[in-house]
Chain A
Amino acid sequence: MQGSTRRMGVMTDVHRRFLQLLMTHGVLEEWDVKRLQRHCYKVHDRNATVDKLEDFINNINSVLESLYIEIKRGVTEDDGRPIYALVNLATTSISKMATDFAENELDLFRKALELIIDSETGFASSTNILNLVDQLKGKKMRKKEAEQVLQKYVQNKWLIEKEGEFTLHGRAILEMEQYIRETYPDAVKICNICHSLLIQGQSCETCGIRMHLPCVAKYFQSNAEPRCPHCNDYWPHEIPKVFDPEKERESGVLKSNKKALRSRQH
């Protein structure tokens, strides 16, 4: 950006291969990102010490800055896993989606998005979404077709399905947070701790403030008597555990089960 004092980084083939392969994923978990980074070093520069991931990515981002895109890091709303996606900084529309979906399909997504944002839980039921099929712009779509389109969104990691209900995938939140906050400023919920967009989370029953599950986990970590940061009332919900990448890798067997579960959710 003009007048930026950030020193622009240097791209090497290690970074380029990383970027090329990263782009083949809509979104990638941190552990896989690290694997990818190691792979790229192995191909081009076996003997070099692998940069710390944060520095590696910051370097690439300083080069991407002039293109108004960046590799953004986020955290999944349900279990606090760090994820990465290449996102557009300049536009607030859903451009990446626009190339893979037709007008009526995009409108279906928008309808689902609005229901999700307006909901109390961050989830919109399949039934409610499908009932809006008649209001879609573009070619007429039947409910059966709409069900398949929703599945396409799940496969492409824009939506997550859980027991017949849909919410936003971490990828969608990373890509569209700015767009959502600007387009629905009165309806969006914000986390009291990190001040980012909140779709799923816990809320205080007294004063109504909301927090992401991973933010709750971090905030109340090793706190025997969790209290609302705003009104100090007793926090009534179960406090989730902080995501621990080390524990993840140790429980190898459990991980493969979790993966099966995740692939349904994510």
Chain B
Amino acid sequence: MLQKPRNRGRSSGQAERDRDWSHGGNPGASRAGEDARVLRDGFAEEAPSTSRGPGASQGSQGPSPQGARRAQAAPAVGPRSQKQLELKVSELVQFLLIKDQKKIPIKRADILKHVIGDYKDIFPDLFKRAAERLQYVFGYKLVELEPKSNTYILINTLEPVEEDAEMRGDQGTPTTGLLMIVLGLIFMKGNTIKETEVWDFLRRLGVYPTKKHLIFGDPKKLITEDFVRQRYLEYRRIPHTDPVDYEFQWGPRTNLETSKMKVLKFVAKVHNQDPKDWPAQYCEALADEENRARPQPSGPAPSS
């Protein structure tokens, strides 16, 4: 006979939850309520928001006046406890780590909806704390993809090392090789290149837009869709072309994660030459390095 999980009966669970509150139990909604929502945990992309702050409303987060929200707040109203703040920061950190693992830039709106919820008033503070923890604990820098874009990515401050690949539990990105080649092509051709030129080059390496590749799977989809969605590449239609042609440029993530100099060094290595053998590109890369060395505006300050 199947034992019904106890938390289906909210009243019986309530005392238990309150008791466990001191144990690092999460206040508010998370343990209560329907199992599906508990399982979804507010991190799933399509799920309605399940802010787990105190007094979180079950189900959708409609806009509500400040007063009404406060009135809904569970027992300890007023300043939130240290623990509540820490838990919120923890959720935010994990949310960002998980989202970034999929290389999807994280929208501020999603953060607010799925994690912050009722804590919206202290969002900048939570964000700052999360960024600090991500840097100190994990070695990831939280940066805005482009100024005022309100989307964020994590940059690894640790340099990847060849042997890391053996130590990983996931595939890492075997497609990184292909990406580097395309980035190299774009840079060497003056920062912009036509799609037809890309395929002319890749064909020589045995990579075709229409043929399934052993390692890369669907190269056309990878280059024109996946890398674009991940913001490594920009893919624009060239007007007035017949047949229609597109052009590629570096996307905002590329500029954050790598540099012209690094890409030039990669190209040089592939050709077994020195970066200086391409004087024009080398100059450009140097200028780019100088630009980067100049102090940048600090931090991922969210425009609130």
Cβ of A110 and Cβ of B39 under 8 Å apart? yes
Complex Cα spacing A110 to B37, Å: 13
Cβ of A17 and Cβ of B89 under 8 Å apart? no
Chain A contact surface mostly: helix
Cβ of A185 and Cβ of B6 under 8 Å apart? yes
Q: Say which residue of A25, A36, A184 sits within 8 Å of B5 (CB atoms).
A: A184
Q: Say which residue of B41, B136, B161, B167 sits within 8 Å of A94 (CB atoms).
A: B41
A145 within 8 A of partner (CB): no
Residues of A contacting B82 in the complex (Cβ-Cβ under 8 angstroms): 2
A144 within 8 A of partner (CB): no
Complex Cα spacing A39 to B39, Å: 36
Residues of B contacting A42 in the complex (Cβ-Cβ under 8 angstroms): 163
Task: Name the residue of chain B whose CB is nearest to the CB of A23.
Answer: B97
Cβ of A91 and Cβ of B164 under 8 Å apart? no
Complex Cα spacing A113 to B39, Å: 13
Residues of A contacting B167 in the complex (Cβ-Cβ under 8 angstroms): 21, 35-36, 39
Complex Cα spacing A112 to B168, Å: 29
Task: Name the residue of chain A whose CB is nearest to the CB of B171.
Answer: A24
Complex Cα spacing A19 to B139, Å: 9
Q: How far is the CB of B214 from chain A (nearest CB, A)?
A: 21
Which candidate, B24-32, B203-211, B265-273, B285-293, is the interface stretch facing chain A? B24-32
Complex Cα spacing A11 to B50, Å: 32
Residues of B contacting A97 in the complex (Cβ-Cβ under 8 angstroms): 39
Complex Cα spacing A115 to B31, Å: 21
Cβ of B41 and Cβ of A91 under 8 Å apart? yes
Q: How far is the CB of A195 from chain B (nearest CB, A)?
A: 17
Task: Name the residue of chain A whose CB is nearest to the CB of B83.
Answer: A2
Complex Cα spacing A2 to B83, Å: 7
Residues of B contacting A79 in the complex (Cβ-Cβ under 8 angstroms): none
B235 within 8 A of partner (CB): no
Complex Cα spacing A186 to B82, Å: 34
Q: Say which residue of B1, B26, B39, B98 sits within 8 Å of A107 (CB atoms).
A: B39
A254 within 8 A of partner (CB): no
Q: Say which residue of A20, A36, A184 sits within 8 Å of B158 (CB atoms).
A: A20
Task: Name the residue of chain B whose CB is nearest to the CB of A64.
Answer: B137
A69 within 8 A of partner (CB): yes
Interface membership of chain A positions 92-135, coded 1 if the CB is closer than 8 angstroms to chain B and 0 otherwise: 11111111000100110010001101100000000000000000
Interface membership of chain A positions 58-72, coded 1 if the CB is closer than 8 angstroms to chain B and 0 otherwise: 000001101111000
Number of interface residues of B (CB under 8 A): 46
Residues of B contacting A96 in the complex (Cβ-Cβ under 8 angstroms): 98
Cβ of A99 and Cβ of B158 under 8 Å apart? no
Complex Cα spacing A139 to B44, Å: 15
Interface membership of chain B positions 30-51, coded 1 if the CB is closer than 8 angstroms to chain A and 0 otherwise: 1100011011110110000000
Cβ of B170 and Cβ of A183 under 8 Å apart? no
A13 within 8 A of partner (CB): yes
Complex Cα spacing A35 to B164, Å: 12
B138 within 8 A of partner (CB): yes
Residues of A contacting B63 in the complex (Cβ-Cβ under 8 angstroms): none
Within 8 A of A (CB), among B83-101: 83, 86-87, 89-90, 93-94, 97-98
Residues of B contacting A39 in the complex (Cβ-Cβ under 8 angstroms): 163-164, 167
Q: Given A89-B24, A91-B41, does the pair A24, B36 have CB atoms closer than 8 Å?
A: no
Cβ of B136 and Cβ of A106 under 8 Å apart? no
A82 within 8 A of partner (CB): no
Residues of B contacting A186 in the complex (Cβ-Cβ under 8 angstroms): 3, 6
Cβ of B3 and Cβ of A187 under 8 Å apart? yes
Complex Cα spacing A256 to B194, Å: 49
B71 within 8 A of partner (CB): no
Cβ of B163 and Cβ of A67 under 8 Å apart? no
Q: Say which residue of A2, A11, A98 sits within 8 Å of B39 (CB atoms).
A: A98
Q: Say which residue of A66, A98, A103 sits within 8 Å of B86 (CB atoms).
A: A66
The residues of B with any CB-CB pair to A shorter than 8 Å are: 1-3, 5-7, 16, 20, 24-26, 30-31, 35-36, 38-41, 43-44, 82-83, 86-87, 89-90, 93-94, 97-98, 133, 136-139, 156, 158, 161, 163-164, 167-170, 172
Closest 3 CB pairs of A and B: A25-B169, A16-B139, A95-B41
List 8 interface pairs A-B (beta carbons < 8 Å), by A numbering.
A17-B164, A20-B158, A39-B164, A67-B94, A90-B25, A91-B41, A99-B43, A99-B98
